Structure 1
Amino acid sequence: MSDATTRPRKRSYDDGCAVAQIMDVIGERWALLVMRELMFGPKRFTDLRADLPGISANVLTQRLEGLEAAGIVARRRLPPPAGSQVYELTDWGAEAEILFRVIGRWAARSPFLAPAPMSVNSAILSMRTMFSAERAGDLRCAFALELSGLEFAVNVADGALTIEPGRASHPDSRISGSPDMLVRALYGGESVDALAAEGALRVEGDAALFQRYCDCFPLPERAPAPGPFPLI
């Protein structure tokens, strides 16, 4: 019996709309989250499993294969001495960051949004999404941010925020902790001083300046919750 008769046909919307056709790929469960976790650089299969603890190895393999076949993800082998195989977004795949920003801001208005653990990439993307130039005003600052062992250089100037992987040069402060602790400072209404006293965040340098930075991320107003279904 041929492969064509034994292999199940991939479901498709069979729709000429570009959105429908790309949803054939990124609409699969976990696909967008795999893309999110590759947004700031290549990762090994084991790294992706660690960042997405709810995904099985089999499903992750399927999603990576589908994204690779669609030209969104590529894999390559690192040069010696590492020699590991890694997955990374293609140039076109990386353009999808705008999707995460738009969907993230829209989703933050959900009346049912609830606190839950976030990955490092989730926290970084949320800052790129929620930053308010109006709140920042004339703020100028540079921070070395370390989240769960990963380093990022954070800069605010002229009402614009940049966050890039890597070491910061001449930062005003060095901040380290977990993504969830950072989120508490950004969106949970908890002060940097209180989190530092608790040991949840480590701040070396100007804590007041970092507090002002954390105040630059207002959440959008929640959408109204649905009312009760009418009785018929």
Structure 2
Amino acid sequence: MPRQQQPSARTARRRSYDQFCATARALDSVGDRWTLLIVRELLAGPRRYTDLHADLPGVSTDVLASRLRDMEQGGLVTRRRLPPPAAASVYELAGRGHGLLPVLTALAEWGAPAIGERRPTDAVRAHWFALPLRRALAGLTHEGVLEVHLDEGEFHIRVGGPDAGAEVYGDGPAAHADARIALDAELCLALGRGECTLAEAVKDGRIAVVGEGPLAGELRGE
């Protein structure tokens, strides 16, 4: 009697909740650990694999590669090759990936009250404060790029205009900033939690505003 043939490959990991539900379908795409944090990083613009790995402390190379592959297949990110002399590949958000901005913004707002004192094990990057700060900047009417200086570093954020398909924020100083502000991380989080307003913090001197254009004037309340 012929011996039963064994499967040639291991059964693929179950990747769907198999529920006819929009929430379940969304979690099929972004419910895995690290996926939404990769989106957070790519909201800052195209990133190389090594840059993503450096700004996602704790993720293994295997998991990061797996998540990026899944996100490509799911239409969340695309990968392209930079022309010489860079000769490197970068990952960037596709339109469906950019559509997660309101989700990340809502999660940042929901999670802000849970941030107390920084724990000894907590990693930190300056641009991680960008999403919480967006809440305080939402009322600005003048469009431009705002450079933000914290003790932890610098980042820049686009304000007063449409978000769709655009770089929402970026790590480091801006190439061309329309205004600059300096504040501490605790105040940045307080603004994100709605504990004070931008106008109040500028008025009492906790935020220093630098710049001469319309955006800087609006920040100063002029």
Identify the TM-score tier after normalising by the shorter chain. Answer: 0.5 to 0.7
Among 115, 119, 124, the alignment partner of 1:113 is 115
1:51 and 2:55 aligned? yes
Q: Report the TM-score, using the length of structure 1 for normalisation.
A: 0.63
1:120–1:12 distance in 2 versus 1, CA, 3 Å: same
- Deviates further, 5-14 or 16-25: 5-14
Q: Report the TM-score, using the length of structure 2 for normalisation.
A: 0.66
SS of corresponding position for 2:80: strand
Amino acid at match of 1:123: F
CA separation in 1, counterparts of 2:157 and 2:12? 43
Amino acid at match of 2:187: A
Cα displacement (A) at 1:22:
2.2
SS of corresponding position for 2:91: strand
1:167 and 2:175 aligned? yes
CA separation in 2, counterparts of 1:83 and 1:46? 14
User: 4+ runs of 1 displaced by more than 6 Å?
Assistant: 139-143, 191-196
Gaps of 5+ in 1: 157-161, 197-201, 215-232
1:164–1:107 distance in 2 versus 1, CA, 3 Å: closer
RMSD of aligned alpha carbons = 3.8
Cα displacement (A) at 1:151:
4.4
CA separation in 1, counterparts of 2:86 and 2:44? 19
Contact 1:143–1:154, Cα closer than 8 Å, also in 2: yes
CA separation in 2, counterparts of 1:42 and 1:141? 22
1:12 paired residue number: 16
CA separation in 2, counterparts of 1:104 and 1:124? 10
Cα displacement (A) at 1:164:
5.4
The sequence identity of aligned pairs, in percent, is: 33
SS of corresponding position for 1:108: helix
- The size of the alignment, in residue pairs, is 189
Cα displacement (A) at 1:17:
0.8
Contact 1:36–1:121, Cα closer than 8 Å, also in 2: no
CA separation in 2, counterparts of 1:118 and 1:92? 27
